Amino acid sequence: MVSHSLLMRRTILLSLLALGVPAAALAAEEPAAAPPPAASAPAPAAVASPAPTTPAAADAPIEVPARAEPSPAQRELQALITRQQKLFAAAAKENNPNFDEENFRTDMQNLCFDYDTYLKKYPDTAAGFAAYGVLLGKIDMRKQAAAMLLKANALDPNLPLVKNQLGNYLAEEGKPLEAVNYFVSAIRLAPNEPLYHYQLGTLLYEARDDFLKSGEWKRPALERAMHAAFRKAAELAPDRVEFVYRYGESFYDLETPDWEGALKVWSALEEKLKPGLEQETIRLHAANVLIKQGRFDHARALLATVQTEGLAKQKEKLVAQLPETAKK
């Protein structure tokens, strides 16, 4: 799972983008997404794969029309976001000798006070309520965050970030049937944002029992929608390993999987990863698929290339499914 510090960094960066800060000025600060670490990499489905993890839910930016000269409201909000960025950047640094938790709390409280003052001054600024809502969510004031996001949504119903955040809130509150509408709305407003497709797929998978019990969904339609959402996320962000990885896993979640399609996904992903543990983890998935296809000789040859000690148990479970091994 992506670290909390990375989550905070991405949230601040994307909030800045939402307020019109040039992406080029922030690009150097956004770390590249790392491939799934060995310890938390899900095993092939045949080896009791754990539930997929959500990538750092770095929220896609609110799209605000560019202006040659920012308005006073934009300038003041940008100043608040800049302070916010600096505070979280300091907190995110590992082994930072200058970080003082008590000072951080005080500074964050003052920032919240200043957001309150800003919103009283500019009560019709949707971006202000959205930015404050995101901030409150990150400091665990979830209900207050939701109130701010609902206000932003009322002021401007065309902000995909707000739709996505409200979807997250409702999903965490155990209301997937309400959350799905917000995720779908976010996708309609920003169809090229991969995170929104990923989160829709995750919701449909994790809350599938709720959707089926509602009577509004049938299993085939639910599976197709889930799989299509993960596929779209992977297509839009082919370099985001966590998106492609989850797309590959989603084949296991189908009643009638396209195993050839799954093999292509795992093969393409292996090429992007480092030799050793990362690539061998992907080979376990590919071998698992080959076994399901009955291509045992190919699976055996692939498993023979998995030498990493940390993958030994998963490898053994797959080897045990090969016909010759099973007879012994």
pLDDT in tens, 33-53: 333 433 333 334 333 333 333
pLDDT value for 26: 32
pLDDT value for 266: 98
The stretch 190-207 carries a mean pLDDT of 97
Q: What is the per-residue pLDDT across 260-281, written as a single tens digit (0 to 9) for each?
A: 999 999 999 999 999 999 999 9
Instruction: Report the distance separating Cα 252 and Cα 256, nearest Å.
Output: 9
pLDDT value for 325: 60
The stretch 177-197 carries a mean pLDDT of 97
pLDDT at 27 over 70: no
pLDDT value for 207: 97
CA atoms within 13 A on the CB side of 87: 22
**All structural domains of the chain:** 8-24+75-91+103-156 (no CATH), 167-240 (1.25.40.10), 258-328 (1.25.40)
3-state secondary structure of 86: helix
Q: What residue type is 114 in one-letter code? A: D
Average pLDDT of the chain is: 83
pLDDT value for 3: 35
Q: Which helix (H) or strand (E) holds 164?
A: helix 160-172
Structure tokens at 284: 């376990």
Q: What is the per-residue pLDDT across 124-161, written as a single tens digit (0 to 9) for each?
A: 999 999 999 999 999 999 999 999 999 999 999 999 99
3-state secondary structure of 198: helix
pLDDT value for 91: 85
Q: Which of 8, 121, 127 is nearest to 57 (CA)?
A: 8
Please give the share of the chain, as a percent, with pLDDT higher than 90: 70
Residue 143 Cα distances to 75, 140, 147, 166, 206, angstroms: 27, 9, 6, 11, 23
Is residue 131 a contact partner of residue 19, using CB atoms and an 8 Å limit? yes
Please give the share of the chain, as a percent, with pLDDT higher than 70: 78
Best mean pLDDT range from 47-56, 61-70, 195-204: 195-204
The stretch 58-66 carries a mean pLDDT of 47
Structure tokens at 141: 């004031």
- pLDDT bracket for residue 93 (50, 70, 90): confident
Long-range contacts from 154-159, C-beta under 8 angstroms, 24+ separation: 155/124, 155/125, 155/126, 155/129, 156/126, 158/189, 159/62, 159/63, 159/126, 159/127, 159/130, 159/189
pLDDT value for 217: 93
